[in-house]
Structure 1
């Protein structure tokens, strides 16, 4: 890849890393941001996650493990990253439920490299739900699409065998990244594998593209600021909390009985 291409490619990775620059004192600024609405079809699924339902109804707790890159964790301000925001939002939406969201960082690792250890990781951490954020580094590395698909299948199967429900989260969207790599094979394969294994796909790519096209974010900006990183994390967390509650198929009346 040309040097200029690498510099541009760094933009989307930079967005994932921007949170590392956010001071903890700014965490209060991210409460319930306006906007970042999404079409209902992007946040609904016909799939019911049995482990999540059992954890909510029988154990009155929900342990979630997020596995991904630095875009799922913030070194100096974890309270502003989307896993921490997701935990706060789910605790608000599921009163009486002990919600705990933890993350496992896998920097610059392909789906095959991460997937090989998912079964053991789930067995050790025992989450009811694994959120596997993947695809970006495979696209950057131009990993063979069939190999990527096989790695996804093996990682999902190992995680389910170890006792967790799985949600796949696909690539970040950036109008700049599409000029340098082709995300389509990875997006298509994630969708196909999710359908094959009957697991929900949280379409982060489509959501971020929607927010960019509607003017919620300016993801084409070559110099994104800290505020943009915070808003992206907030909006992802809000959308993901809605998505998770939908996969649990918990009705308002059932929610009241969980208190």
Structure 2
């Protein structure tokens, strides 16, 4: 039971209490279900220091936002810091345009060798779908990367592609989405279902980047990144609860 306070700390840290300047993004609860525990994250927060490594393509860098502070990894860091100012949060982002899963895995390994993180957030799948790369190649790279994260004693969260009507019309995305879900389940890591979340936000007219008028595009992009940060915070809260339940049992 010694670790329970740390787990409760993370649950409190990521509680959905809204900041005054942040509008809540409504999401189906089932899309924010972690389905797996985040014990390394809990231990790090209990120790008052959490290093988060975000790896992926151009989306992790916040293209089209009003500035670097509006990208979803930066917004996530701000949300976490606002809830627990006594914890040192460091969010390191590594990504570039056009990077595939294997290349992202190499970036992940390089960064973990330099300065290990306790939590890895890995956004992937879009480039593979756009280029029609072999699904098995993506899965192999994910397996290698996730095994390395586990061996380092860290947690991982996978993030599937951004929803796009254009991508859906021009690429067969479903096999990549299905593969990511299967890999996440096999490795017992949470999956942020970004595709389904963004589709829901578009259908409910909360934020629809593709149909935003040009003068409103930057504001819509900022809003989307804020919604993604809120969703990730909720997923982390669920993963902390999973870890707490495991300890109790």
Report TM bin, short chain: 0.7 to 0.9
Distance of 2:137 and 2:165 partners within structure 1: 26
TM-score by length of 1: 0.79
Deviates more, 1:115-124 or 1:78-87: 115-124
Indicate conservation of the 8 Å contact 1:134/1:170, yes or no. yes
2:50 counterpart of 1:72: no
2:215 counterpart of 1:215: no
Unaligned runs of 5+ in 1: 1-29, 252-259
CA deviation profile, 1:113-151 (whole Å, cap 9, x unmatched):
221342332121211100001111111110111111111
Q: Residue in 2 aligned with 1:143?
A: 133
SS at match of 2:175: helix
Distance of 2:72 and 2:233 partners within structure 1: 10
Distance of 1:158 and 1:103 partners within structure 2: 18
Distance of 1:31 and 1:132 partners within structure 2: 29
Distance of 1:152 and 1:145 partners within structure 2: 11
2:196 counterpart of 1:179: no
Residue among 69, 80, 83 paired with 1:90? 80
2:224 counterpart of 1:236: no
Distance of 1:31 and 1:237 partners within structure 2: 16
Distance of 1:176 and 1:222 partners within structure 2: 14
CA deviation profile, 1:51-77 (whole Å, cap 9, x unmatched):
1111112x2111111111221114782
Unaligned runs of 5+ in 2: 1-18, 244-249
Indicate conservation of the 8 Å contact 2:73/2:229, yes or no. yes
Residue 106 (structure 1) shift: 3.0
Indicate conservation of the 8 Å contact 1:67/1:104, yes or no. yes
Distance 1:32 1:204, change over 3 A: farther
Distance of 2:21 and 2:204 partners within structure 1: 19
TM-score by length of 2: 0.82
Residue 46 (structure 1) shift: 3.2
* Residues matched between the structures, number: 222
Distance 1:31 1:156, change over 3 A: farther
CA deviation profile, 1:182-232 (whole Å, cap 9, x unmatched):
110110000000000011101111100110111112344275511111110
Over aligned residue pairs, what C-alpha RMSD do you find?
2.3
Indicate conservation of the 8 Å contact 1:170/1:201, yes or no. yes
Q: Residue in 1 aligned with 2:49?
A: 61
Residue among 183, 189, 193 paired with 1:193? 183
Q: Residue in 1 aligned with 2:8?
A: none
Indicate conservation of the 8 Å contact 2:53/2:91, yes or no. yes
Q: Residue in 2 aligned with 1:119?
A: 109
